[in-house]
Amino acid sequence: MGKLDFSPIADTTRRAEIVALLRRAILTGQLEPGQKLNELRIAEQMRVSRAPLREAMRELVQEGILTSIPYAGTFVIDVTAKDIDDAYSLNKVLDEFAIELTWKLRDERFFDELDRRHEAVKQATRDLDTTRQIETALQLHGLIYEWADNSVLLETWQRLTSRLQMYFALHQHARNEPVPAEDVHETYVRLLKGQDMRAAQRHAREHIDLDFEELLAYARSLEQRTSKGGRADRAGRTNSA
């Protein structure tokens, strides 16, 4: 009797596919921050009615990458330097916690998966596929969250990830230079395999620092340019209690 694990079959609703499509478009920067999403046009392009499209948009609003103003429209969130800074500092705290939880649960399968994801990053780097590079790097980073066995923490991280990916993609789009050739993740992986938890936590902080500092500088420079032509000044309250 083979002990085969079947994974759940794909969600076959239009809504789910639309969510995936839109999310990808936003996270890769095809839809720019602040841009308005015209329901009619998008629905026509996707050959779908507005109902599932609107439901999909509601999901992405709650996911934090869209924002909705009643009777005005749904927009890709605006990226401010403060947003990035906020996400950055929270991420540091969560990382420390995730490493702590994961530490005792590491095993062979963990190390294997760690190597696999590390390899994916290196492959994307060789291919000069910056979008995929961001994606794989975040997946590598996310392993400690998946392994921590804390569903709420994982959810939180995934929400954060959406934004981080968007921020990084935005950054990449601007300066179209491929990211550093040297492997910045080498040390991270090595420490996660080692015995010194504190050292791993410390490095996670500093490693993130590196990426973010550059990102922040870019965001701040953007802020200068944008401030003159600011759009919607209405407070986009979406999560009113």
- Which positions touch DNA (CB under 7 A)? 12-15, 36-40, 47-52, 54-55, 68, 70-74
Rounded to a whole number of angstroms, the minimum distance from the CB of residue 48 to DNA is: 4
The residues with which 76 forms a beta bridge, in sequence order, are 66
1/241 with CB nearer a copy of itself: 241
181 binds, among DNA, a copy of itself, none (CB under 5 to 8 A by kind): none
3-state secondary structure of 240: coil
Backbone angles phi, psi at 238, to 5 degrees: -110, -35
Strand 36-37 versus strand 73-76 pairing type: antiparallel
> Binding to a copy of itself by residue 40, rule CB under 8 A?
no
172 binds, among a copy of itself, DNA, none (CB under 5 to 8 A by kind): none
Site track for a copy of itself across 58-87, x = CB under 8 A: xx-xxxx-----xx----------xx--xx
Rounded to a whole number of angstroms, the minimum distance from the CB of residue 224 to a copy of itself is: 21
Rounded to a whole number of angstroms, the minimum distance from the CB of residue 64 to DNA is: 18
C-alpha 43: how far from its chain's center? 25
40 binds, among a copy of itself, DNA, none (CB under 5 to 8 A by kind): DNA
Q: How many CB atoms lie within 10 A of CB 87?
A: 18
Site track for a copy of itself across 140-159, x = CB under 8 A: ----------xxxx-xx-xx
49 binds, among DNA, a copy of itself, none (CB under 5 to 8 A by kind): DNA
Task: Give the side-chain half-sphere CA count within 13 A for 235.
Answer: 3
Order the strands of the 66-69 sheet from edge to edge.
36-37, 73-76, 66-69
Structure tokens at 164: 């981080």
Backbone angles phi, psi at 55, to 5 degrees: -60, -40
Between the CA of residue 30 and those of 33, 169, 170, 226, what are the distances in Å?
A: 9, 10, 10, 19
81/184 with CB nearer a copy of itself: 81
240 binds, among a copy of itself, DNA, none (CB under 5 to 8 A by kind): a copy of itself
Contact 182, 83 (CB under 8 A): no
CA dist., res. 132 & res. 127, Å (int): 9
202 binds, among DNA, a copy of itself, none (CB under 5 to 8 A by kind): none
Rounded to a whole number of angstroms, the minimum distance from the CB of residue 184 to a copy of itself is: 24
Euclidean distance between the first and final Cα of the chain, in Å?
53
Binding site for a copy of itself (CB under 8 A): 8, 10-13, 16, 20, 51, 54-55, 58-59, 61-64, 70-71, 82-83, 86-87, 89-90, 93-94, 97, 150-153, 155-156, 158-160, 163, 234-235, 237, 239-241
